[in-house]
Amino acid sequence: MRWKESTVLLLISPDSVAEALDCAKAAEHLDIVDVKKPDEGSLGANFPWVIRQIRDAVPADKPVSATVGDVPYKPGTVAQAALGATVSGATYIKVGLYGCTTPEQAIDVMHGVVRAVKDYQPDAFVVASGYADAHRIGCVNPLALPDIARRSGCDAAMLDTAIKDGTGLFDHLPPDLCAEFVRQAHQGGLLAALAGSVKAADLGALTRIGTDIVGVRGAVCEGGDRDAGRIQPRLVAAFRAEMDRHAREHAASVATAG
């Protein structure tokens, strides 16, 4: 993976091979191509052949991530689906713990995923994802995710939003709580990923919080519309430029303070 000026990785979520090709045009500005099917939910899973085609379409040095879905509390079903995504060529496997109401249920699901994925591909990267707006759907508390991810052997803890209604990550989990999420993830030896209708205006706070990965779709789609709009390479480039600007400003302020 090529590191940019910004040490925060940019994950972009295309919904089709055509959009992945647009991501490929902006490949120098992004770090991870995340295959998703937004019409099946926030972390909707796409077909195995789409993951395979996207793997073939984007440069080999760009990791392909796949979402396994907004999953139910069915550990066997989810483990099998996660293996399907891995066999199809994804090396980042993201699971949205939508149907888990307790940390124990979530650990149960992620244990199965980690085993299924890593038995097949030991260096694959497993991401346990919760939802900043968990209170709206009754699933596990977002601040429980780092511990869930650590105890189940995942590599990263992530937050997204379940309901895409114009509200975003910080509307549901303010920056100080997102910072606590990142702190807990790092303390557990995990990467932290944050998403949820993130906009360029959020990048200053996200940089200060110290997240490792920022995930976006809507912000790099035409008209900011994650459903009707299509990913635009120029918007990906502009988003990355903003990330780099914030990284520079943050590095300068840390140097001044030190």
Angle at 82 between CA 80 and CA 85, to 5 degrees: 115
Pick the catalytic residue: 37, 62, 94, 164? 94
Please identify, using beta-carbon distances, which residue of 36 and 150 lies nearer to ligand G3H.
36
Q: Is residue 37 close enough to count as binding ligand G3H by CB under 6 A?
A: no
For the bound state, the minimum distance from the C-beta of residue 76 to ligand G3H, rounded and expressed in Å, comes to 25
Q: Is residue 147 close enough to count as binding ligand G3H by CB under 6 A?
A: no
Q: How far apart are CA 52 and CA 148, in angstroms?
A: 29
99 near 71, Cβ under 8 Å?
Answer: yes
Q: Is residue 46 close enough to count as binding ligand G3H by CB under 6 A?
A: no
| 56: CB partners within 8 A, 6+ apart | 89
Q: Is residue 195 close enough to count as binding ligand G3H by CB under 6 A?
A: yes
Q: Is residue 211 close enough to count as binding ligand G3H by CB under 6 A?
A: no
Which residue number is nearest to ligand G3H in terms of Cβ? 215
Active site residue 36: yes
Please identify, using beta-carbon distances, which residue of 108 and 133 lies nearer to ligand G3H.
133
Q: Is residue 207 close enough to count as binding ligand G3H by CB under 6 A?
A: no
Please identify, using beta-carbon distances, which residue of 238 and 251 lies nearer to ligand G3H.
238
Q: How far apart are CA 180 and CA 201, in angstroms?
A: 20
Q: Is residue 63 close enough to count as binding ligand G3H by CB under 6 A?
A: no
Spatial CA neighbour of 39 closest among 64, 69, 19: 69
139 near 175, Cβ under 8 Å?
Answer: no
x/- site string to ligand G3H, residues 98 to 137, per CB under 6 A?
----------------------------------------
Among 29, 55, 217, 246, binds ligand G3H (CB under 6 A): 217
x/- site string to ligand G3H, residues 218 to 237, per CB under 6 A?
xx------x-----------
Pick the catalytic residue: 4, 36, 74, 199? 36
Q: Which residue is it, tokens 């069915």?
A: 74
Q: Are strands 9-12 and 191-195 parallel, antiparallel or unpaired?
A: unpaired
155 near 126, Cβ under 8 Å?
Answer: yes
- Length of the chain equals 258
How many chain residues bind ligand G3H (CB under 6 A)?
16
Q: How far apart are CA 20 and CA 11, in angstroms?
A: 12
Active site residue 94: yes
What is the SS3 assignment for 69?
Answer: strand
Largest CA distance in the chain: 52
Spatial CA neighbour of 242 closest among 201, 214, 195, 193: 201
Q: Is residue 160 close enough to count as binding ligand G3H by CB under 6 A?
A: yes
Angle at 223 between CA 236 and CA 32, to 5 degrees: 25
Please identify, using beta-carbon distances, which residue of 19 and 34 lies nearer to ligand G3H.
34
Q: Is residue 142 close enough to count as binding ligand G3H by CB under 6 A?
A: no
Write out the catalytic residue numbers.
36, 94
Please report, as ranges, the residues that interact with ligand G3H according to CB under 6 A: 11, 13, 34, 36, 160, 164, 195-198, 215-219, 226
